[in-house]
Structure 1
Amino acid sequence: MHLLVFILTTFLFCSSGISGGKVLVFPLDGSHWVNMKVLVEELHARGHNVTVIVPSNSWYINKTSPYYNSLIIPMTDGFDEFFFESLLSKLIQIQKEGASLWKIIKMELEISIRFSEFHYHMCRMIIRIFDDTNLMKSFQDSKYDLVLTDPVTGGGMLLAHRLGLPLVYNVRWTLQGEGHFAIAPSPLSYVPFPGAQLTDKMSFIERLRNVFTYLFAMFQVSVVISHNYKIVCQRYFGHDIDIFTLLQGADIWLMRNDFVFEFPRPTMPNVVYMGGFQCKPPKPLPTDLEEFVQSSGEHGVIIMSLGTLFGELPHDITEEIAAAFAQLPQKVIWRHIGKRPASLGNNTLLVKWMPQNDLLGHPKTRVFVAHGGTNGVQEAIYHGVPIVGLPLVFDQPDNLSRMKAKGVAKIVDIATMDRNTFLQAVQEVLHDPSYRMKMQHLSRLHRDQPMKPLDRAMFWIEFVMRHKGAAHLRTESYKMPWYVYHSVDVIAVLFAFVSLVVKKHYRVIHVFFL
């Protein structure tokens, strides 16, 4: 009898694990898909049914997969490899003009124009989805439990609101900038705004710079973002709903960093930290790669990758990098797409793809030359490998400035460097033991937690499924007018009251002494 009860209980438990929820994923292409794919595959492994919205011109997102069902949306323009190659080429050209205010203005203007176009195409995609009656009916009939999205675009939050579904973010950046600044109190006196490349210990001049950087970024958001989404919101939701209200109304924010990377700052109950969730112990390398690594002997290996968005640098820069590598006794594995540099040394292996996580976890890896994307920085922290940074654009300079402040990275200006400056930077990180020691300390801090970041992310996604949202964790402060949020009305009334009392007593005192 007891055996029968045990078997039935086990069967029911296993059945409940298999019959998972239904998740609708609205992803962003490129490197953002690399980390979203980790969540998708883990959801599938846990028995959940996942449907991914895939633009027809997708760059990294496969249209067929054993891990998810695809919903292909026709698209001809927007976010692709050419978008980033042309942007990078233009920005490096501007950077080479030298340091000046005009250079900064030109760079920000170029980025603003490109991203205004990007959000315009995203809004066209959303309109196409909303106007497709059959597609919208299929969404309703599918009875999804939640929408999982990357809030760099407004597509996922608009669709979740239209369908009345709980919303979970895979987030570091949003339409409004860095995720914390969109939801949590962020005092500019000690919370550095991304882009300012500051720490949490600022002088007066640095605090002034922090405030101006923040104000300029908010101006950019209003110019680049708002007008594109305003049309969509008014067309489908009326004048009372705007994109930033929808942005702040998500149930759970799965934040792709943690306080090993981030400076201490205020946060919110529905912000869940999963920094390094894509990291894992290294697997054995392919035989040919392992032989190359082992041939490095006691000198070890340097690996270089500029991530998924920027595979190819201008030819003159790659020649300088290759010439610097050729002077080192270490072996180099370089993810490089494009023309083979003429100055390439015998110690350097060019590859179009590399098992980055496995190489970073290899005991012979000494230095990681990287552009400073969030994924790469988190993997370097996880494996304890110091960084030589070549920041290109977006969050990369700020990510690397944080690593520099923690003593684990050396930054090189890619627009002005030559083989000598690059070689000196690599040699400094190789031979100064403090870089590796401090990075290994960060690695120990990152790993010393009661629950793996990926398991934590899965728990909260499934929590939202079980409870149809997480409203009890979500602040309603975003619905307040700015003057109520900052208590300007209360301060004004108190000031008026104090002024009235002072004025009344002043008259009494004045009459008494006269």
Structure 2
Amino acid sequence: MLGMPPHKYVTSLLLLIVFLSWRICHGGNILIVPLEGSHWVNMDIMIKALHSRGHSVDVVRTNTTWYIQDDSLHYKTITVPVTEAFNQDFINPILKKVIDIERGESSVLSFASLQAEMFTAMFNVHRIMCKMATNMFEDKDLMDTLKDRKYDLVLTDPAWGAGIMLAHALKLPLVYNVRWITSGEGHMAIAPSPLSYIPLTGSGLSDKMTFIQRVKNHLFSIIWQVQDRFLIRPHYQAVCDRFFSPEVRYIDLLHGADLWLMRVDFVFEFPRPTMPNVVYMGGFQCKPAQPLPEHLEEFVQSSGEHGVIIMSLGTFVNELPAEITNEIAATFAKLPQKVIWKHKGGRPATLGNNTLIVDWMPQNDLLGHPKMKLFVAHGGTNGVQEAIYHGVPVVGLPVFFDQYDNLLRLQERGAAMILTLATVDKDNNFLKAIQEVLNEPSYRMNMQRLSRLHRDQPMKPLDTALFWIEFVMRHKGAAHLRTESYRMPWYSYHSVDVALFLLTIALVVLLIVIGLVWSCFRLCCKSKVKSDKTVKKE
């Protein structure tokens, strides 16, 4: 405003004050119940964006939180005391068992062991979450405080159910930051999902299935339903029965959210039916690359024309068995590229001079660097979306949960190659996969095509998400977008009762017609007999 006349300076200052006052006055109060780990990383991005638009944000966490820091510039924390929590101590033993099972002999027994381990993990996670919810609802002072703050909505990650029940207790509109819900993939709960072309998570299938694959997909559907019905849902229903009433069904609360902000888009996801209150914001956490720290930039530039590879297995996996890490390090040492590897375990004995091991890396900024050639990834949703955004092909090393299925979506589009933990350290498979993706141009071309498709949108995914969150706040919900199909019993949803009714009518009509025909036939027979008798008498 230098050189501006005084009266114009005053006018501009007043306009600025009015604008800021409007933002403050029109900002909402938002209660957030997040998930831990990488889920918190992208929720934190959403929180910062909401704060920048003038909203006040409170975050519910436990006293044993893994990732969620105390009060920040962008939010205030509400801490719930618990004795158990979902953190690294909970994850590490499960991860070790899963890796041991996957690296064993492939058989029906190993598959059953893996499913049993995952079932047990899910059972315990949701038991812990329900204990947290119970602690909240039993704390009358806490609940009174939450009610007095007059929030406009609850934003939660529904892979845990505590936020869902809290929204019901506070009678607030409910918005999901969602890919997963307590019973599986979010789409499967809210939208029609024909199993003939929509693969279940864990099935390792695409949307093009043979007959045998469709049988497998149905079996996985049964597994998911059994897990939800007998291992997960009873935990949450018990809390609803205790603090609400037996008439309040947890499954209805889950399905009844006003808005589902889905962390995928159809560049990544297989095409499928959807619903009006599902908003797609895949890659909302992605952004243009920022300059690297000086030491990393020097290392990257030292790669020359060969470029750089980065490797990260996400927030859950700190280290792999020594034989695997030694094979990975030995493979990297044979490459002309420089390698940046996020690894917290022991230093591999076979580590080459071209490999830099780090505890943390600016993954988004590295993927967006011009010298980036390849991303070795575990297949988490965040990393896959960032690879798509920056157009970097992937060699995938999935460990558990949805990671194989995420990588499969890239592989089906010709942008990735997948290796299993059982084969990564055998027959130079890791080296062959890296060389295949580096040397075959189609992988990079296909990923860059996906990147162009992803970026070609009328609004940035984060802006779309913010608009719809504020839409729910302005209108006190979005009931007009919400289907009521979840309130229907299964026989009504699938029109079994209608089919039986129509079949009954058809059967009755058929029986009446048969009765009439039979009566006519008998009358005709009687008439013929009488006629014959009359003729004989004559």
Deviation at 1:307, TM superposition (A): 0.7
Deviations 1:321-370 (A, max 9, x none): 11111111111000000100000011100000000000000011101000
Q: Find the aligned partners of 2:297 and 2:12 in 1 and give their Cα distance.
A: 48
Deviation at 1:306, TM superposition (A): 0.5
DSSP 3-state at the match of 2:59: strand
CA contact (8 A) 1:197 1:402 kept: no
Q: Find the aligned partners of 2:512 and 2:205 in 1 and give their Cα distance.
A: 48
Equivalent of 2:24 in 15, 18, 40: 18
1:382 paired with 2:418, answer: no
1:74 paired with 2:73, answer: no
Aligned to 1:125: 132
Q: Find the aligned partners of 1:204 and 1:513 in 2 and give their Cα distance.
A: 49
1:292 paired with 2:319, answer: no
Count, aligned residues: 514
Equivalent of 1:450 in 442, 455, 458: 458
1:201 paired with 2:208, answer: yes
Deviation at 1:513, TM superposition (A): 5.4
Deviation at 1:176, TM superposition (A): 1.3
CA contact (8 A) 1:54 1:63 kept: no
DSSP 3-state at the match of 2:79: strand
Deviation at 1:215, TM superposition (A): 1.2
1:184-263 aligned at under 5 Å gives the runs 184-263=191-270
Equivalent of 1:414 in 403, 413, 421: 421
Aligned to 2:436: 428
Equivalent of 1:321 in 322, 328, 353: 328
Q: Find the aligned partners of 1:13 and 1:476 in 2 and give their Cα distance.
A: 40
CA contact (8 A) 2:82 2:135 kept: no
Q: Find the aligned partners of 2:317 and 2:511 in 1 and give their Cα distance.
A: 66
Q: Find the aligned partners of 1:242 and 1:102 in 2 and give their Cα distance.
A: 36
Q: Find the aligned partners of 1:10 and 1:310 in 2 and give their Cα distance.
A: 48
Deviation at 1:3, TM superposition (A): 11
Equivalent of 2:149 in 124, 137, 142: 142
DSSP 3-state at the match of 1:85: helix
Aligned to 1:265: 272
1:344 paired with 2:351, answer: yes
Read off the aligned partner of 1:205 and give its amino acid letter: I
Deviation at 1:11, TM superposition (A): 4.7
CA contact (8 A) 2:156 2:163 kept: yes
TM-aligned CA distance change 1:324 to 1:5, over 3 Å? closer
Aligned to 2:470: 462
Aligned to 2:525: none
TM-aligned CA distance change 1:350 to 1:218, over 3 Å? same
Percent identity of the aligned residues? Answer: 58
Q: Provide the aligned C-alpha RMSD in A.
A: 1.7
Read off the aligned partner of 1:496 and give its amino acid letter: T
Deviation at 1:320, TM superposition (A): 0.9
Deviation at 1:7, TM superposition (A): 7.7
Deviates more, 1:188-197 or 1:288-297: 188-197
Q: Indicate the structure (1 or 2) with the bigger Cα radius of gyration.
A: 2
CA contact (8 A) 2:323 2:425 kept: no
DSSP 3-state at the match of 2:351: coil
Deviation at 1:506, TM superposition (A): 2.7
Equivalent of 2:489 in 478, 481, 489: 481
Deviation at 1:413, TM superposition (A): 0.8
DSSP 3-state at the match of 1:353: coil
Read off the aligned partner of 2:46 and give its amino acid letter: L
Deviations 1:358-415 (A, max 9, x none): 0000011101000000000000000000000000000001111111111111000112
DSSP 3-state at the match of 1:281: coil
Read off the aligned partner of 1:272 and give its amino acid letter: V
Q: Find the aligned partners of 1:319 and 1:498 in 2 and give their Cα distance.
A: 71
Read off the aligned partner of 1:175 and give its amino acid letter: T
Deviation at 1:242, TM superposition (A): 1.9
DSSP 3-state at the match of 1:117: helix
Deviations 1:21-57 (A, max 9, x none): 0000101111110110010111111111000011111
Q: Find the aligned partners of 1:250 and 1:14 in 2 and give their Cα distance.
A: 32
1:4-153 aligned at under 5 Å gives the runs 11-19=17-25, 20-153=27-160
Equivalent of 2:507 in 484, 492, 499: 499
1:171-186 aligned at under 5 Å gives the runs 171-186=178-193
Deviates more, 1:480-489 or 1:439-448: 480-489
Q: Find the aligned partners of 1:4 and 1:97 in 2 and give their Cα distance.
A: 74
Read off the aligned partner of 2:155 and give its amino acid letter: L
CA contact (8 A) 2:179 2:263 kept: yes
CA contact (8 A) 2:423 2:429 kept: no
DSSP 3-state at the match of 1:24: strand
Deviation at 1:204, TM superposition (A): 1.6
Deviation at 1:417, TM superposition (A): 2.1
Structure 1 unaligned runs (5+)?
Answer: none
Please, what TM-score do these two structures have when normalized by structure 1? 0.97
